[in-house]
């Protein structure tokens, strides 16, 4: 039976990836320190290791276990938290990842390492979207900088140490299990507000665009990146793939579409622009189409309905502690 490790597998994206790998017949291990994830997201059939990626125990797990695939999604993923504390962001996102990459360098085993990078925070505001993988990158936040730094390390480990990797640059991912308390993931936050009957808050004028991508499409991309033949490692972007819809939707439009799905008309409140926030963001996906054979399947309207329904059901079962 093939074996996979999903770091961050108690979180939003990682838990969906773990579900898929189980469905595909993998023996799935999850490594997560539960700093932002939840036990309830863990698939019962997975082997759970409650560990910080920065620890010796985490590197020993990676060095000593015969994994065929590692999907690395453990990270601090909040742009605002990275602006407030870039050191914390770098320790989580850069040194934590390096700890795992060094373990792989020491190991005899060569699993495919799939990195969950960002297309939404990597490119910055100097180039007009849709952003292709190869454009110049000037991240607007320390979070974007740390994600880009890891991609440089991946390219280095690929060239010099034969690391077999893929870097997936996601748009703005949404769907069931997204944590509305995380401060990231506006759709989860809006769903919570709608269910509370509170106004929706938009930072800035609401004209900033995002490439909203439903989580099942992200999982499909992860599966293809884990299993497909890939071009040889080389320059930074050789094994990087944007994963989005190639459509930029404004914050105002997403609020309106979600309210339509929910059947509500709550007022919008406007607050000041947030530091480190990219203004325009949507990604070109020709490369993922061509090389991975990937295509987004879920329309924004359908994805928003499914997400809102999940949040409404979740209220009934009441598992998330709300602020
Ligand atoms: N959600 C998005 O829109 C989005 C977009 C682009 C990229 N990403 C990337 O996808 C990945 C997953 O994001 P998510 O939205 O599922 O976030 P999430 O917070 O739900 O999941 C991250 C998980 O990692 C765990 N974690 C954090 N630090 C850890 C550490 N030091 N050691 C072990 N576990 C740790 C958390 O407990 C959590 O379960 C992240 O790498 C993020 O940067 C997310």
Task: Answer yes or no: do 220 and 151 share one domain.
Answer: yes
Task: Answer yes or no: do 180 and 158 share one domain.
Answer: no
Taking CB atoms and a 6 Å cutoff, what residues make up the pocket around ligand 1? 8, 10-14, 32-37, 52-54, 73-77, 92, 96, 116, 118, 120, 170, 172-173, 179, 182, 185
Which has the higher per-residue pLDDT, 180 or 75?
75
Cis preceding-peptide flag for 5 (omega within 30 of 0):
no
- Is 165 catalytic? The answer is no
Task: Answer yes or no: do 109 and 146 share one domain.
Answer: yes
The domain total for the chain is 2
DSSP string, 99-124: HHHHHHHHSS---EEEEEEESSSSS-
Task: Answer yes or no: do 61 and 164 share one domain.
Answer: yes
Give the whole-angstrom CA distance, residue 238 versus residue 133: 9
What's residue 323's pLDDT? 37
Task: Answer yes or no: do 89 and 122 share one domain.
Answer: yes
pLDDT at 198 over 70: yes
Which residue range forms the structural domain that includes residue 33?
Answer: 3-173+212-243
Task: Answer yes or no: do 194 and 313 share one domain.
Answer: yes
Q: What's the CA-to-centroid distance between 265 and ligand 1, angstroms? A: 32
Task: Answer yes or no: do 304 and 162 share one domain.
Answer: no
pLDDT tens string 202-234:
999 999 999 999 999 999 999 999 999 999 999
Supply the mean pLDDT for the chain: 95
**Rounded average pLDDT over 173-200:** 92
Give the whole-angstrom CA distance, residue 2 versus residue 9: 17
Is 203 a member of any domain? yes
Q: Which of 56, 75, 179 is the pocket-test mutation for ligand 1 (most atoms within 8 Å of CB)?
A: 75
What's residue 186's pLDDT? 93
Task: Answer yes or no: do 77 and 205 share one domain.
Answer: no
Which residue has tokens 């309106």?
Answer: 256
pLDDT at 91 over 70: yes
Q: What are phi and psi of 293, to 5 degrees?
A: 70, 30
255, 189 contact by CB (below 8 A): no
pLDDT tens string 264-279:
999 999 999 888 888 8
Task: Indicate which residue of 115, 123, 143, 157 is catalytic.
Answer: 143
Task: Answer yes or no: do 222 and 92 share one domain.
Answer: yes
What's residue 181's pLDDT? 81
The neighbour count for residue 168, using CB atoms within 10 Å, is 27
């Amino acid at each position: 039976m093939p074996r996979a490790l999903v770091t961050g597998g108690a979180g939003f994206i990682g838990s969906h990836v773990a579900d898929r790998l189980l469905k595909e017949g993998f023996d799935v291990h999850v490594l997560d320190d539960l700093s932002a994830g939840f036990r309830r997201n863990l698939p019962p059939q997975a082997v759970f290791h409650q560990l910080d990626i920065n620890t010796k125990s985490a590197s020993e797990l990676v060095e000593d276990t015969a994994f065929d695939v590692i999907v690395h999604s453990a990270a601090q993923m909040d742009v605002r938290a990275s602006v407030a504390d870039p050191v914390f962001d770098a320790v989580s996102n850069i040194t934590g990842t390096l700890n795992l990459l060094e373990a792989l360098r020491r190991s005899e085993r060569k699993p495919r390492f799939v990195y969950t990078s960002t297309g939404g925070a990597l490119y910055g505001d100097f180039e007009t979207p849709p952003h292709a993988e190869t454009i110049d990158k000037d991240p607007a936040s320390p979070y974007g900088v740390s994600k880009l730094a890891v991609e440089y390390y991946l390219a280095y480990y690929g060239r010099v140490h034969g690391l077999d990797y893929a870097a997936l640059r996601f748009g703005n991912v949404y769907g069931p299990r997204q944590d509305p308390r995380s401060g990231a993931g506006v759709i989860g936050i809006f769903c919570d507000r709608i269910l509370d009957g509170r106004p929706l808050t938009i930072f800035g004028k609401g004209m900033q665009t995002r490439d909203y991508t439903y989580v099942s499409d992200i999982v499909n991309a992860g599966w293809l990146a884990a299993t497909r033949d890939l071009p040889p490692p080389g320059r930074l972007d050789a094994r990087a793939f944007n994963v989005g819809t190639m459509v930029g939707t404004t914050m105002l439009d997403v609020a309106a579409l979600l309210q339509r799905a929910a059947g509500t008309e709550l007022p919008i409140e406007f607050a000041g622009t947030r530091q480190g926030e990219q203004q325009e963001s949507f990604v070109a996906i020709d490369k993922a189409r061509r090389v991975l054979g990937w295509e987004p399947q879920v329309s924004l309207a359908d994805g928003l309905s499914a997400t809102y329904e999940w949040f409404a059901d979740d209220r009934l079962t009441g598992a998330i502690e709300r602020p």
